[in-house]
Amino acid sequence: MDKASVLADAIKYIKELQEKVNQLEGAVNASKTEQSFVISGDDPADGDGKASPPLSQIEARISDKDVLIRICSEKANVHVTGLLGEIERSGLSIVHSNVVPFGSSTQYIAIIARVRYRMPPSL
pTM here is: 0.57
Residue at 122 is within a domain = no
For residue 8, being part of any structural domain is answered with yes
- The answer to whether residue 23 is domain-embedded is yes
Taking only the tens place, the pLDDT of each residue in 47-86 is 455 544 556 788 888 888 889 999 888 876 678 888 888 8
- Distance between start and end Cα atoms, the chain: 60
Close Cβ partners of 51 (under 8 Å, ≥ 6 residues apart) = 42, 43, 44, 45
Q: Say whether both 93 and 64 belong to one domain.
A: yes
**Any residues with CB less than 8 A from the CB of 1 and at least 6 apart, and which?**
none
Structural domains in the chain (count): 2
Q: Is residue 121 part of a domain?
A: no
Identify the pLDDT of residue 46.
46
Chain segment 96-123, per-residue pLDDT in tens: 999 988 888 888 999 999 988 655 555 4
Could you tell me if 51 and 90 lie in one domain? yes
Same domain, 69 and 26: no
The answer to whether residue 55 is domain-embedded is: yes
Query: In terms of domains, do 15 and 47 share one?
Result: no
In terms of Cα–Cα distance, which of 35, 83, 37, 78 is closest to 56? 78
24: domain range?
A: 1-33
Q: Tens digits of per-residue pLDDT, 10-29?
A: 888 788 878 887 777 776 66
> Do 7 and 40 have their domain in common?
no
**Rounded-to-integer distance, Cα 64 and Cα 34, Å:** 7
Residue 109 DSSP SS3: strand
Burial of 94: CB neighbours in 10 Å, binned 0-12, 13-18, 19+: middle
CA within 13 Å, CB half, 78: 23
On whether residue 123 sits in a domain, the answer given is no
Are residue 43 and residue 2 in the same domain, yes or no?
no
Exposed, middle or buried: residue 60 (CB in 10 Å: 0-12, 13-18, 19+)? middle
Residue 57, domain member (yes or no) = yes
